[in-house]
Amino acid sequence: MPEFKDDRFDPSSAACPKPWCHITQKGVQGGAVLGTFAVAPVVGLYQHFIKKEKVDALKIAEGVALTTLGSLGLTFFVGSVKLLQMDREGMEDRVYRLHHNTGQHRNDHLSQVGGALGLAAAAYFLRGNSDAKPLHYIGGASVGAATGILLHMLTRPQEKKSANKMMHELFN
């Protein structure tokens, strides 16, 4: 096992569940952001300008939900392949880094709170609607999660405003 700076946290105890939870959260968060800020406007504009119909919030919620679920599935598949390629020491190192990443914890917390508030808002606005489906509630939770991520990005401390390491590695 590699030597770690913090002797109170043993990454070997969380080497399996922590990365899977992280992958799941990133899949939901990525799909929520994509669905809320890309798919929802496109669906609304398509309904209004192309089909000349009234914008249907239920169809937008379905689009956001399907994007979130699709992203979750894709992220889970890609993350599984990546995790299967890691050795035990690499997995423990990743768990250690996740455990001590305060910005990630803040982002996840705001996303989860936003998701819960989005689900509550969807339940409130869809009460008594006979056309409501589970996808509409997932869409509401996704919009809330995306709003939590946006809140994190807009309010993070100035010293934490640096280029995203993953994005830097992907595009450079």
Quick count: other Cβ atoms within 10 Å of Cβ 135? Answer: 17
pLDDT of residue 93: 85
Instruction: Name the band, by pLDDT with cuts 50, 70 and 90, for residue 1.
Output: very low
pLDDT in tens, 94-123: 888 888 889 899 999 999 999 999 999 999
C-beta of residue 115 within 8 angstroms of C-beta of residue 141: yes
Whole-prediction pTM value?
A: 0.84
pLDDT digits (tens, 9 = 90+) for 115-152: 999 999 999 999 999 999 999 999 999 999 999 999 99
